[in-house]
């Protein structure tokens, strides 16, 4: 159980932060960029949940937010620490199951989809784009295979969920090549 009595510690004032094992690293390290991008993706998913106002897939998104905290813990824990909280293949498989369930209700794609539509769908598209950045940052930080798989699958889930929220694909905003003016 986490217990935080005091939010500020002053230990990061010099530009370093602590990892799970107590070691300190520069906040400019690729690892910290990955952790920050995962946190930003989690926050964007929170915005999407608020925009969805309780409609599906809000419950799945809440579980994903918890997984992203696991992901942050995984990233913040150096390799070789016994009993460390890690992203596991079951979390990736759960995303795949959720993708398949939503995708079964969607109209087939005939064009690329622009990030927009209903407010909830637009928020999911933004979370997807941030998740893609988190994935790139995790690659740069040489994160573990399960973290990379989870973030890759999460961006797929967010895309499918956005389409599902957009009237199961009927209200998707489709790309029309060359029509930008």
Per-residue pLDDT reduced to its tens digit, 164-179 = 999 999 999 999 999 9
Q: What are phi and psi of 25, to 5 degrees?
A: -135, 160
Closest CA to 51 of 125, 112, 104, 113: 125
158 is a domain residue: yes
CATH code (residue 163): 1.20.1200.10
Check pLDDT > 70 for residue 10.
Answer: yes
Distance, CA of 33 to CA of 134 (rounded, Å): 8
- The pLDDT score that the predictor gives to residue 180 is 78
85 is a domain residue: yes
122 is a domain residue: yes
- The pLDDT score that the predictor gives to residue 181 is 63
**Containing structural domain, residue 121:** 28-170
16 is a domain residue: no
Distance, CA of 25 to CA of 150 (rounded, Å): 25
Question: How many domains is the chain partitioned into structurally?
Answer: 1
Whole-Å CA distances, 96 to 71, 81, 180: 17, 28, 35
| pLDDT tens per residue, range 57-83 | 999 999 999 999 999 999 999 998 989
* Chain mean pLDDT for the chain: 95
* Position 11 confidence tier, pLDDT thresholds 50, 70, 90: confident
DSSP class of residue 10? S
**pTM attached to this predicted model:** 0.94
Quote the percentage of the chain above a pLDDT of 90: 88
3 is a domain residue: no
Beta bridge partners of 17: 25
Q: Are 170 and 113 in contact (CB under 8 A)?
A: no
144 is a domain residue: yes
92 is a domain residue: yes
Check pLDDT > 80 for residue 1.
Answer: no
Q: What is the pLDDT averaged over residues 143-163?
A: 98
Distance, CA of 3 to CA of 119 (rounded, Å): 35
3-state secondary structure 56-120: CCHHHHHHHHHHHHHHHHHHCCCCCCCCCCCCCHHHHHHHHHHHHHHHCCCCCCCCCEECCCCHH
- The pLDDT score that the predictor gives to residue 54 is 87
């Amino acid at each position: 159980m986490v217990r935080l009595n005091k939010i500020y510690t002053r230990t990061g004032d010099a530009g370093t932060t602590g990892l799970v094992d107590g070691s300190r690293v520069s906040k400019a390290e690729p690892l910290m960029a990955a952790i920050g991008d995962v946190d930003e993706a989690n926050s964007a998913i929170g915005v999407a949940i608020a925009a969805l106002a309780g409609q599906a897939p809000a419950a799945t998104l809440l579980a994903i937010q918890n997984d992203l905290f696991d992901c942050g813990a995984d990233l913040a824990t150096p390799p070789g620490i016994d009993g460390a909280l890690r992203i596991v293949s079951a979390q990736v498989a759960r995303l795949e199951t959720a993708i398949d369930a939503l995708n079964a209700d969607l109209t087939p794609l005939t064009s690329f989809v622009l990030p927009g539509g209903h407010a909830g769908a637009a928020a999911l598209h933004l979370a997807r784009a941030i998740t893609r950045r988190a994935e790139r940052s995790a690659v740069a930080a040489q994160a573990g295979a399960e973290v990379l798989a989870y973030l890759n699958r999460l961006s797929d889930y967010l895309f499918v969920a956005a389409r599902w929220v957009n009237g199961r694909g009927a209200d998707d905003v489709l790309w029309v090549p060359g029509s930008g003016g």
